Amino acid sequence: MIKVLLQGGLGNQMFQYAFACALAHRGFSVGLDASFNYVTLKTLRANRAKSTLKQNLMGGRGI
């Protein structure tokens, strides 16, 4: 089985999906892995929350 990891921006993910479809069309066993996106989104939200909290505590000053 060939595992295609979906990552990057929307354009990259569309290309990776099309690549997986092309492999499947040629008879390969293909699996898609989107777990990278979940971790990245979760981390991104956590980092943004920390940044906002820090900015609110400092009153917008770059200390």
The confidence score (pLDDT) of residue 30 equals 94
Q: How far is Cα 7 from Cα 16, in angstroms, rounded to an integer?
A: 8
Q: Is the pTM of this model over 0.85?
A: no
The confidence score (pLDDT) of residue 8 equals 82
Domain ranges of the chain: 2-59
Q: How far is Cα 62 from Cα 14, in angstroms, rounded to an integer?
A: 39
The confidence score (pLDDT) of residue 34 equals 84
17-45 burial, b at 16+ Cβ within 10 Å, e below that, comes to: eeebeeeeeeeeebeeeeeeeeeeeeeee
Stretches where the chain sits below pLDDT 50 are none
Q: How far is CA 17 from CA 2, 23, 61, in A?
A: 13, 10, 44
The confidence score (pLDDT) of residue 51 equals 66
The confidence score (pLDDT) of residue 19 equals 95
